[in-house]
Amino acid sequence: MSETKSTCCYCGVGCGVIVEHDGAQITGVRGDPEHPANFGRLCTKGATLHLTVAPDTRSQRALHPELRTERGAPRQRVGWDAALDHVAERFAAIIREHGPDAVAFYGSGQWLTEDYYVFNKLTKGLIGTNNLDTNSRLCMSSAVAGYKLSLGVDAPPCSYTDIDATACLFIAGSNTAFAHPIVFRRIEAARAANPAMKLVVVDPRRTDTAEAADLFLPLLPGTDIALFNAMLHVMLWEGWLNRDYIEAHTEGFDALKRLVREYTPAMAATICGLPKRDIELAAEWFATSPATLSMYCQGLNQSTSGTHKNSALINLHLASGQIGRAGAGPFSLTGQPNAMGGREVGALSNLLSAHRDLGNAEHRAEVAALWGVPEVPAVPGKPAVELFEAIGRGEIKAVWIAATNPAQSLPDQAVVHAALAAAELVVVQDTYRHTETAAYADVLLPATGWGEKDGTVTNSERRISRTRAAVPPQGESRHDWQIACDFARRLGARLDKAELAERMFGFDSPEAVWNEHRESTRGRDLDITGLSYAKLEADGPQQWPFPAGAASGRVRLYEDGVFPTPSGKARFVATEYVATAERPSARYPLHLITGRLRDQWHSMTRTGLVPRLFNHEPEPQLHMHAEDLARRDLADGDIVRVRSRQGAAVLKVIASDTVRPGQCFVPMHWGGNAMAGRLGINALTPSAADPTSKQPELKHAAVQVEKLTDG
C-alpha cells in the first residue's frame, strides 16, 4: 500500500488529505496532520472521498469520448481524435460564420489553477472572445467585487489563525457548521480556549451555526445592509468609531456618515425584524472588542445586492479599525475548492490573469504580451446567467461545459434546460456521466477526477496547496488542461493560427502551465514569483503574496494600513438597503430560503454516490414553521407543490422551528430529470443578479405552498 498527499476537492477550507492506494485503486483517505488548513481533521464529505472513486462507482464515470452527430440520437463511443476533430471543426465553422462571440466556455471552481489558466488562454487569447465564465460566478463574484470596491483588490485579508486570535467572531450569511465544517471545528476550539470570545451569527434561519451563537440575529431575508448600516449608526452615536484609523487609512466616510444617520436601530429593527437592543449589542461587541473577525459566504454573496452587502460589512471593519491586526478583519469563505485559483488567473468573463481587469486597456495589453497574441478583446464576455440566456436566444451557438452541472446549479432552470436543448453544439467535459447537464451533451469528453490529477488549488486564506495524482487516469480520461491544449492546436489549425496555437499551448506538464501563471503575477498584489512546485514540495502549502526573495507568504494583509487603491486608502461605500428581487405577495406569500446540507456537496454528482452520506438527510424536505403548516392544513410528511414565479417542485414538508412564520427552507442539492419533465430545486429560484458582480440571487424566492396529497 502507498500514500500520496493531496487536498480535498469539496469546499474552500482546502483540507489536506492523505490518499491511501495500491497504485491502481484508491482504498482510503485520512486528514493530513501537517496541513495548516485542517491539521488532520476531515468532515464527513472529505472522509468519504475514496468512496466516490470506488469500483462500484465506475458505471457513473465518463471513461471514453462519446459523440452524436444528430440531436436525439444516442451518443456513440469514439476515439479522442474523432471527438476533438469534430468539436474543432464545428467551433471553427461557427467562428468563421458568426464570429468568436458565438462560442462560449463554462467552467468550474473544481478546476485546478492550471486547468483554469489554459482554458482562459484558449478562450481570450486564441479564439478571441471573453465568453468564459465559471460556476464561481454563482459562488464568490460578489465577494470579489466587494473587496475591489472597498479595499482596492480581490484579496481576503485574513487567515484561519485569526480565528484563534479573535475576541469577537461575526458570522453573516454562512452556516459554517455545515458548509465549512473544519473551519467550524476551529471556531469551537478557539471558543473552548477563550470562553470570553463572543460569537454573533446573522442568518434568517436558526442553523446549527446559529445555535452556537452568543447573539443570534435572525434577520428577514435580504435585509443585511439595513442591519450593517444601523450598527454603524450605533457606533457613531456611541462614539465607538476608531477616528484615528478612519482619518489615516480611509476615504469617503462623510458620505457614509450622512447615509447611516437615517438608519436608526428602530428603523432597522422594523426592516430586519430584529429587536432593537440586539442590533445595539451587535454594534457594541463588533466595535469595542479587542479584535473582531467577520466571516461570510453565500448569504451575502448570492444576492441582487451582494456586492454592497460585502462592502457594508467591510465598512464596519474600517470604521472601527477592526482590520489589519491579529484576529481582526473581513474574511470571505470561498465555497469551492479552487474558486480562489480561478480568481487568480482571471477565469471570469470580466477578468484577466493575476487580478487584472478586462476593462483596463493596459491590463489587456500586458496579458496579450504575455500570451504572445496581438490583443485580448475589450468586449466583456457573458457572465453565467446571461451566457445561458444568450444560448437560448441563439446568439451563442456552441458551449463547452467542464466540471460543473449548470442544468442543476443555475437559477431559473427551465430557461437553462431550454437553452441547452436549443444550442447547436453542447460539449460536456466531466469525470462523471450521470449529471443533468451531461444528458444534453452532443460530445462527452472524459476528464480525470480527484485522486488522478496533478496541480494546485488555493483555499479561502490564500493558501496554495499541491493536488497530487495517486492513481492513473481511469479509462481513456485525460486531464482538463491537456484536453484544452489538444483542442487548441486542432482549432488553431482550422483558423489559420496553427503556429500560434503550437506556441501558446506547448505545455508538457501542469508545472509548465503553473510557471507561466506565476510569471503573470510578477509585480501584482498576488505576486507568487518566490514560489515553485519544488518549494511547495519541500515546504508544503504557502500563502500569497510570496514575491521573489520573500522568506514566507503573508498571513495577513493591510497591517501597515496601506491599501492597493490610487490614494493608498480604503474606501467607505455608502449604500442603501434594497429588498430582495422577489417580495412575498398575496399569490406568493412565503420567503423561500435555499441552503446546504452537512453531508452533500453542490449537485451531488459525487456525494450522491456515497450511500452513507444520505443518513443525515435522505431526501429534500421543505422546512416550514408550524403556524404556516396549520394555516394550510398541512402536517409533517405531507407532499406539497412549491410554486414560484419561475417554476414548481414537489416536496415533502417537515415542521421546523429553524424558520420564522412566513418563511420556508429547502436544501439546494437536488436536481431533477428534465427528460422526465421534472426540474430540481433551482427551478424555483430567480435569475435576477447583482448589477455589479452579476451573481444571481440563488438564496431566495417568493413561493406559494399547496397540499398535493394526504399522507
Of 13, 581, 634, 649, the one binding ligand SF4 (CB under 6 A) is: 13
**Closest approach of ligand SF4 to the CB of residue 43, in Å:** 3
Q: 98 to 117, contacts with ligand SF4 by CB under 6 A?
A: none
Four-residue CA torsion sign, 643, 648, 651, 657: negative
Backbone angles phi, psi at 410, to 5 degrees: -80, 150
Residue with smaller CB distance to ligand SF4, 184 or 371? 184
**Closest approach of ligand SF4 to the CB of residue 162, in Å:** 17
Q: Does 10 bind ligand SF4 (CB under 6 A)?
A: yes
Residue with smaller CB distance to ligand SF4, 596 or 660? 596
Q: Does 312 bind ligand SF4 (CB under 6 A)?
A: no
Residue with smaller CB distance to ligand SF4, 173 or 492? 173
**Closest approach of ligand SF4 to the CB of residue 307, in Å:** 25
**Closest approach of ligand SF4 to the CB of residue 47, in Å:** 7
Residues 671 and 407: their CA atoms lie apart, in Å, by: 8
**Closest approach of ligand SF4 to the CB of residue 688, in Å:** 29
Q: Does 8 bind ligand SF4 (CB under 6 A)?
A: yes
H/E/C letters for each residue in 226-290?
HHHHHHHHHHHHHCCCCHHHHHHHEECHHHHHHHHCCCCHHHHHHHHCCCHHHHHHHHHHHHHCC
Of 5, 21, 35, 45, the one binding ligand SF4 (CB under 6 A) is: 45
Q: What DSSP letter does each residue of 605-651 carry, written as one string?
A: TTGGG-GGGGSS-SS-EEEE-HHHHHHTT--TT-EEEEEESS-EEEE
Residue with smaller CB distance to ligand SF4, 46 or 547? 46
Closest residue to ligand SF4, based on beta-carbon distance: 46
Residues 274 and 279: their CA atoms lie apart, in Å, by: 7
Q: 167 to 206, contacts with ligand SF4 by CB under 6 A?
A: 180-182
User: What Å distances lie between residue 520 and 39, 169, 451, CA to CA?
Assistant: 32, 36, 28
Of 19, 32, 36, 46, the one binding ligand SF4 (CB under 6 A) is: 46
Q: Which of 409, 386, 504, 377 is nearest to 108 (CA)?
A: 409
205, 595 contact by CB (below 8 A): yes
Backbone angles phi, psi at 652, to 5 degrees: -90, 140
**Closest approach of ligand SF4 to the CB of residue 542, in Å:** 18
106, 429 contact by CB (below 8 A): no
Backbone angles phi, psi at 320, to 5 degrees: -100, 5
Q: How many residues bind ligand SF4 (CB under 6 A)?
A: 14
Q: Does 15 bind ligand SF4 (CB under 6 A)?
A: yes
Q: Does 613 bind ligand SF4 (CB under 6 A)?
A: no
Residue with smaller CB distance to ligand SF4, 322 or 409? 409
Residue with smaller CB distance to ligand SF4, 178 or 546? 178
One-letter amino acid at 554 equals: R
**Closest approach of ligand SF4 to the CB of residue 46, in Å:** 2
Q: Which of 486, 383, 495, 496 is nearest to 94 (CA)?
A: 495
**Closest approach of ligand SF4 to the CB of residue 38, in Å:** 6
Residue with smaller CB distance to ligand SF4, 13 or 416? 13
C-alpha cell of residue 377: 478583446
**Greatest pairwise CA separation for the chain in angstroms:** 71
**Closest approach of ligand SF4 to the CB of residue 222, in Å:** 27
Please choose, out of 3-11, 213-221, 240-248, 519-527, the segment that lies near ligand SF4 by the rule CB under 6 A: 3-11
Please choose, out of 41-49, 294-302, 536-544, 606-614, the segment that lies near ligand SF4 by the rule CB under 6 A: 41-49
Query: Which strands make up the sheet holding 198-202, listed edge to edge?
Result: 215-217, 198-202, 168-172, 292-296, 329-332
Please choose, out of 35-43, 264-272, 417-425, 501-509, the segment that lies near ligand SF4 by the rule CB under 6 A: 35-43
**Closest approach of ligand SF4 to the CB of residue 135, in Å:** 16
Which residues make Cβ contacts (< 8 Å) with residue 48, sequence separation at least 6? 29, 607, 610, 612, 613
**Closest approach of ligand SF4 to the CB of residue 181, in Å:** 5
Q: What DSSP letter does each residue of 93-158 carry, written as one string?
A: HHHHHH-GGGEEEEE-TTS-HHHHHHHHIIIIIII----EEEGGGGTTHHHHHHHHHHHSSS----
Of 5, 6, 11, 291, the one binding ligand SF4 (CB under 6 A) is: 11
Residue with smaller CB distance to ligand SF4, 49 or 653? 49
Residue with smaller CB distance to ligand SF4, 33 or 691? 33
Backbone angles phi, psi at 284, to 5 degrees: -65, -50
Residue with smaller CB distance to ligand SF4, 8 or 513? 8
Q: Does 29 bind ligand SF4 (CB under 6 A)?
A: no
Q: Is 427 helix (H, G, I), strand (E, B) or coil?
A: strand
**Residue owning grid cell 476551529:** 186
**Closest approach of ligand SF4 to the CB of residue 586, in Å:** 42
C-alpha cell of residue 339: 474558486
Q: What's the length of the chain?
A: 711
Residue with smaller CB distance to ligand SF4, 460 or 520? 460
If you compute the radius of gyration of the chain from its CA atoms, what whole number of angstroms results?
24
Residue with smaller CB distance to ligand SF4, 5 or 45? 45
Q: Which of 376, 460, 337 is nearest to 130 (CA)?
A: 376
Please choose, out of 5-13, 189-197, 406-414, 694-702, the segment that lies near ligand SF4 by the rule CB under 6 A: 5-13
Please choose, out of 4-12, 249-257, 603-611, 626-634, the segment that lies near ligand SF4 by the rule CB under 6 A: 4-12
**Closest approach of ligand SF4 to the CB of residue 423, in Å:** 33
**Residue owning grid cell 437553462:** 416
Residue with smaller CB distance to ligand SF4, 48 or 130? 48
HSE toward the beta carbon, residue 96, CA cutoff 13 A: 12
Of 26, 29, 42, 297, the one binding ligand SF4 (CB under 6 A) is: 42
Residue with smaller CB distance to ligand SF4, 10 or 331? 10
Residue with smaller CB distance to ligand SF4, 315 or 459? 459
Residue with smaller CB distance to ligand SF4, 45 or 198? 45
**Closest approach of ligand SF4 to the CB of residue 15, in Å:** 3
**Residue owning grid cell 461570510:** 296
**Closest approach of ligand SF4 to the CB of residue 160, in Å:** 11
Q: Does 602 bind ligand SF4 (CB under 6 A)?
A: no
**Closest approach of ligand SF4 to the CB of residue 10, in Å:** 3
Q: What DSSP letter does each residue of 330-377 carry, written as one string?
A: EEEPPSSTTHHHHHHHT-STTEETTTEETT-HHHHHHHHHHHT-S---
Q: Does 53 bind ligand SF4 (CB under 6 A)?
A: no
CB neighbour burial string for 499-526, b if at least 16 within 10 angstroms, e if fewer: ebbeebbebeebbebbebbbebbeebeb
**Closest approach of ligand SF4 to the CB of residue 59, in Å:** 25
C-alpha cell of residue 376: 485580448
Residues 405 and 436: their CA atoms lie apart, in Å, by: 7
Q: Does 530 bind ligand SF4 (CB under 6 A)?
A: no
Of 19, 43, 139, 358, the one binding ligand SF4 (CB under 6 A) is: 43
* Residues making contact with ligand SF4 (CB under 6 A): 8, 10-11, 13-15, 38, 42-43, 45-46, 180-182
